[in-house]
Amino acid sequence: MAEYITRRVLQALLVLTVMTLLVFFGVNVIGNPVYIFASSECDQACLTAIIKDLGLDQPIWRQYLTFVGNMLQGDMGKSFTHGVPALHLIFERLPATLELAFAALVLALVIGLPMGVYAGLRPEGIGAKLIMSFSMVAFSLPVFWIGIIMILTFSVQLGWMPSVGRGDTVDLGFVETSLLTLDGLHHLAMPAFTLSLIMMAMVIRLARAGMREVMFTDYIKFARANGVTERRVLGVHALKNILIPIVTVLGMEFGGVIAFAVVIESIFSWPGVGKMLIDAIAVLDRPLIVAYLICVVFMFVTLNLLVDILYSLLDPRIRLGGGRA
Amino acid sequence: MTAVLELRGLQTSFVTPAATIHALRDLSLTVQRGEILGLVGESGSGKSLTGFSINRLISPPGRVTEGEVRLHGQNILALSEPEMRGLRGRKIAMISQDPMMTLNPVLRIGTQIRDALLAHEKLDKAEVRRRAIAALDEVGIPAPEDRLSAYPHQLSGGMRQRVAIAIALLHQPDLIIADEPTTALDVTIQGQILALVQRLCRDRGTALIWISHDLAVVAGLADRVAVMYAGRIVEEGPVDDILDAPAHPYTQGLIASVPVPGQRGGRLQQIPGRMPLLTDLPPGCAFAPRCPRATEACATMPALTPVNSTRAVRCVHPLIKGAEA
Amino acid sequence: MSAVTTAPAAGSARDLTRRFLSNPGAVIALIVFVGFCIAGFGAPWIAPQNPYDLRQVDILDSLMPPGSESFTGMTYWLGTDGQGRDMLSAMLYGIRISLVVGLASGLLALAIGALVGLIAAYRRGWVDTVLMRIVDLQLSFPTILVALILLVILGRGVDKIIFALVVVQWAYFARTVRGVALVEGARDYVEAARGLRLGGMRILLGHILPNCLPTMLVVATMQMAMAISLEATLSFLGLGLPPTRPSLGLLIANGFDYLQSGRYWISVLPGLVLLAIIISVNLLGDRLRDVLNPRL
Ligand SMILES: Nc1ncnc2c1ncn2[C@@H]1O[C@H](COP(=O)(O)OP(=O)(O)OP(=O)(O)O)[C@@H](O)[C@H]1O
Ligand code: SF4
Ligand SMILES: [Mg+2]
């Protein structure tokens, strides 16, 4: 077990290193930020000063080492456009994105699980067919397009839902949230639902497949043969078996959801890190871009690592086996 | 005194749009209090299906299409599903074939026992624990307190089967259906489990249906035996009488294929041919294609006919005089 | 011996075609898809206007609703966009780009993935282990994240988005093809071919590859739908294609700004076309899977 965890941690560190290399070198080869800072009257001396100031006169590997060194101390450079530390900006915006992603996760489970379970219990019924079509559509249609149609329908035509921003937020001291005000929830509903669609489709499929498999197992028959109530057979004995793969997949997907929030935040003008990334790309704010990408990759790799370890702890069947197949 | 269980003309079928397969036909059986009935037959002859028909747990598209299942004289096929659930585990319990599969892999042993207890009794936490420990103790599980928090995979196959038996015995049922509960275990443990079940049933007067494809196991355990072939009972009676003088050619074939202990190297006489598929039954006696005594008269289905006051056979040319159908 | 070495025929082509066409949904999907292909690839000849030739576009005609008539007497059947471009023409060109990107990236990814999968299945051992580790790693990353990183690094351009889409897709093909090839490689006729000491290449290309084709076709169809959808998403974000080569996604993005003011057609019409393409390709893939019944 300890060996498995160590191996998994080392693997995660390797992936992180490779990704920082890729992101750093990649991003530092495009564009030339000097011109963003230099006014038109700036002469050669002035240019050199800016280059030196930004550390761009150093060889690139040197820049990388400096970059990694600084990063380990929590410094990812100053945003070119905002003039404040990039990490600072990210942490300022991150709660909005996490809130959105978290709400999407909850929606995917709360809506998707019952739908999938139902479809798995009555696979031949018309309800199951409808649910599976919904899952296919939610999975294959571009999410941004669904978001646009929702805005057109519920905001522009019907005027029921706001389509821009977070609405009223409550300051909890350490973080602001729109989860605690009606207006905030009202604003959150459409973007969170749109973002949840892909996960929801996945939950539906996994729950349906899991249910169909589990209902034919001996242990479900045995539980029924012991007179255990149908509610408990379904709600505990069956559900607990299908929940493990679902939670695993959701955990693995969460990083992807945060990346996907870029799309949703652009459509609904949600003031999170994703929207900030798109703005930063438009003005070639390299430190901010790099900081965003590294943060998301870091979150993603860490989450995967945690899910893997948790999974091996949670599922009693593989706990002794050490690792998944 | 009414019998604990009486099956009358039971027919179980799989009904699909494409075809209807009658997997059990004209099945009649009686089990008295404290009696052990051995149900033997080749794989696919319908033994397990008989067990599941009794407690109404056949998975669709299968269902009981004709006949009656009487428990203490009451036809339980007429009960509502909640009423039926009230009987399962309380009046009729099951132990099934594969101890690896009968316990839910993601629930602790204690939870599974608790669910079975609470299915029929209102108990507080302490009582549940006391009863669970007592149940595990009774089936000879060492250190039962510690087992409650274990997961099934942490127990050996024999231990798991003991847990399953403990669960089946929780409510002192009137009837236990044991579906080949020792097949998956190694020989010494088989013997232990056999002795355990026999003792517990004798002590309490529990009726037991012991399903097996192994006549030798049934010979040492059962009071009476019913031999099944292709969904029908072909011979039924006290186990010693039948072993001494089988009336049905199929029973004779089964006895001849049982290896005799201590007589090594002797060639067993396997019955030639295979059991026909249910979709492809010959008219009349289903055993006819393999039967050495078959004549044209066998092309009409013989009825299950009494040989004497305790025995019956379904054969046109039985091996015992005075029993011609 | 020669009889053993021929691969088993997987139903005649005519038979498969008939089974494919027996499903009305699949036929409609096929007609829709072929229709869009013709419209897209014929855009330069069909379109009333070359929307990227500034001399043909009149800014005074901007934001006209569908059916409006221009100053010069030309009818804008589907309206115009913010720059006065004919939407019908812009969409025809957009379909062309979306299809080109989807097809090109799918085919390239297929070629690379199939090669990797075949090599892994054929060589087994450490080659297989290493290649599949890379595939697993690639697949563990969310496609959108990989595509975002690559496009941020590479910038805009048709070649760049195709590259990014190939990177996110090849691993699916590699894994699928390896799976099928492993099964096929264990079959009698391949064993027989090995027995005849046919060269590795000949066994791979002559025996194993043909039997992977049905599976590859199904996966490729599904992947193409995904690629078109992802390209639209990225272009919508302004990350994929340059404004000079607008795909459907970029057209939708351009129209998005006008959505609130009720000028729905600029966004919704290209969106509907995108929808129709993606759904028809998905339906085709579903039907192919039913008919070819590959081991997925
Ligand atoms: N879902 C089904 N559809 C059609 N027939 C079925 C179905 N399930 C079971 N059967 C049929 O019911 C018959 C009886 O099966 P059953 O499991 O009772 O056999 P068995 O005597 O217990 O055999 P074994 O010794 O292998 O456990 C089989 O011949 C099988 O063909
Ligand atoms: S009825 Fe005929 S075929 Fe059947 S067992 Fe008896 S003798 Fe044999
Ligand atoms: Mg059985």
Chain A CB within 8 Å of residue C264 CB: yes
Q: Give residue A291's Cα distance to chain centre.
A: 16
Of B94, B101, B151, the CB nearest to A225: B94
- Dihedral sign of CA atoms B72, B74, B77, B81 in order: negative
The whole-number pLDDT of residue B278 equals 84
Instruction: Name the band, by pLDDT with cuts 50, 70 and 90, for residue B268.
Output: low
Q: Summarize pLDDT for C247-279 with one digit per residue, the tens.
A: 888 888 877 777 777 777 777 888 888 888 998
Whether the predicted interface score ipTM is above 0.90: no
For C81, the token pair is 């966009």
Burial zone of A324 (CB within 10 Å; 0-12 exposed, 13-18 middle, 19+ buried): exposed
All residues of chain A having their beta carbon less than 8 Å from the beta carbon of residue C278 are 140-142
Instruction: Please tell me the distance between residue A209's alpha carbon and the centre of ligand 3 in angstroms.
Output: 25
Mean pLDDT of B293-305: 87
Map tokens 């973080």 to a residue: A175
Mean pLDDT of B7-22: 89
Cis amide bond preceding B99, omega within 30:
no
Residue B216, classified by CB atoms within 10 Å of its CB into exposed (0-12), middle (13-18) or buried (19+), is: middle
What's phi and psi for B106, nearest 5 deg?
Answer: -105, 5
Report whether A193 contacts A107 (CB < 8 A). Answer: yes
Q: Determine the 3-state secondary structure of C75 from DSSP.
A: strand
CA distance A225 to chain B (A): 5
Rg of chain B over Cα atoms, rounded to whole angstroms, equals 21
Helix (H) or strand (E) holding B20: strand B20-31
Nearest CA in chain C to A266: C237
Instruction: Give the strand pairing for A176-177 and A170-171.
Output: antiparallel
C143-154 vs A286-314: helix crossing angle, rounded to 10: 160
Give the CA count within 13 Å in the CB-facing half-sphere of A104.
Answer: 33
Q: Is B89 left (phi over 0), alpha (psi -120 to 50) or beta?
A: left
Residue C7: half-sphere exposure toward Cβ, Cα within 13 Å: 18
Spatial separation of the C-alpha atoms in residues B166 and B159, rounded to whole Å: 10
CB of A320 within 8 Å of any CB in chain B? yes
> For residues A39 and B208, which has the higher predicted lDDT (pLDDT)?
B208
The edge-to-edge listing of strands for the beta sheet with B232-238 is B92-95, B175-179, B207-212, B36-40, B224-229, B232-238, B312-313, B305-306
- Contact by Cβ (8 Å): A225, B55: yes
Is B72 touching ligand 2 by the criterion CB < 6 Å?
A: no
A175 vs B139, more confident? B139
Q: Give the per-residue pLDDT at B36.
A: 92
| Residue A101 and residue A262 in contact, taking contact as beta carbons nearer than 8 Å | no
Are C267 and A148 within 8 A, CB to CB?
yes
Q: For residues B11 and A50, which has the higher predicted lDDT (pLDDT)?
A: B11
Atom of ligand 1 nearest to the CA of B213: 25
Read off the tokens for C232. Answer: 């639209």
Alpha helical stretches, state H, chain C:
2-5, 13-21, 24-41, 43-46, 87-123, 125-140, 143-154, 158-185, 188-195, 200-203, 209-236, 248-256, 265-292
The position carrying tokens 């101390």 is A73
Beta bridge partners of B232: B229
Burial of A160 (0-12, 13-18, 19+ CB in 10 A): exposed
Residue of minimum CA distance from atom 17 in ligand 1: B48
Residues 6 or more apart in contact with residue A22 via CB below 8 angstroms: C149, C153
Task: Give the H or E element holding residue B13.
Answer: strand B5-15
Rg (CA), chain A: 24
CA-to-CA separations, A221 to A307, B27, B321, C140, C187, in angstroms, rounded: 31, 23, 44, 36, 38
State how far the Cα of B173 lies from the Cα of A19, in Å rounded to an integer.
Answer: 63
Task: Give the residues of chain A that fall short of pLDDT 70.
Answer: 1, 29-41, 54, 172-174, 180, 314-325
DSSP state of A156: I
Note down pLDDT in tens along chain C; length 296 residues: 333 334 444 557 777 788 778 888 888 888 888 988 888 887 778 777 777 776 666 666 666 666 667 666 666 666 677 676 777 778 888 888 889 999 999 999 999 998 998 888 877 788 888 888 888 888 878 888 888 888 887 888 888 899 999 999 999 899 888 888 888 777 766 666 666 666 666 777 777 778 788 888 888 888 888 899 888 888 888 887 887 778 888 888 877 777 777 777 777 888 888 888 998 898 888 888 888 776 55
**pLDDT tens readout for residues B149-196:** 998 888 888 888 889 989 988 998 999 999 888 776 777 777 888 888
pLDDT at B49 > cutoff 90: yes
**Which ranges of chain A does DSSP label H, i.e. alpha helix?**
2-27, 34-37, 44-54, 60-72, 86-121, 126-140, 143-150, 182-214, 218-225, 230-232, 239-268, 273-282, 286-314, 316-319
pLDDT of residue C111: 92
Alpha carbons A87 and A89: distance in angstroms, whole number: 5
| Residue C92 Cα to chain centre, angstroms | 17
Please, how many CA atoms are within 13 Å of residue C176, restricted to the half-sphere of its CB?
26
Question: Could you tell me if B85 and A227 are in contact, meaning their C-beta atoms sit under 8 angstroms apart?
Answer: yes
Identity of the residue numbered B70: R
Of A217, A218, A227, the CB nearest to B85: A227
* Residue B34: CA count within 13 A, CB half-sphere: 5
B249 lines ligand 2 (CB under 6 A): yes
Q: How far is C70 from chain A (nearest CA, A)?
A: 27
Can you give the pLDDT at residue A318? 54
Per DSSP, B311 falls in state -
pLDDT at B267 > cutoff 60: no
Confidence at residue C5, expressed as pLDDT on a 0 to 100 scale: 38
Nearest to A303 by CA among B214, C141, C292: C141
Q: Which has more pLDDT, B262 or A242? A: A242
Q: Which of A30, A148, A278 sits opposite C153 (nearest CB)?
A: A30
| Predicted TM-score of the model (pTM) | 0.80
CA distance B313 to A196: 65
- Best of C98, C138, C148, C264 to disrupt the A interface by mutation (most A CBs within 10 Å)? C148
Q: List helix spans (H) across chain B.
A: 47-54, 81-87, 99-102, 109-118, 125-138, 144-147, 157-169, 187-204, 215-221, 239-244, 249-256
Residue B284: CB atoms within 10 Å: 16
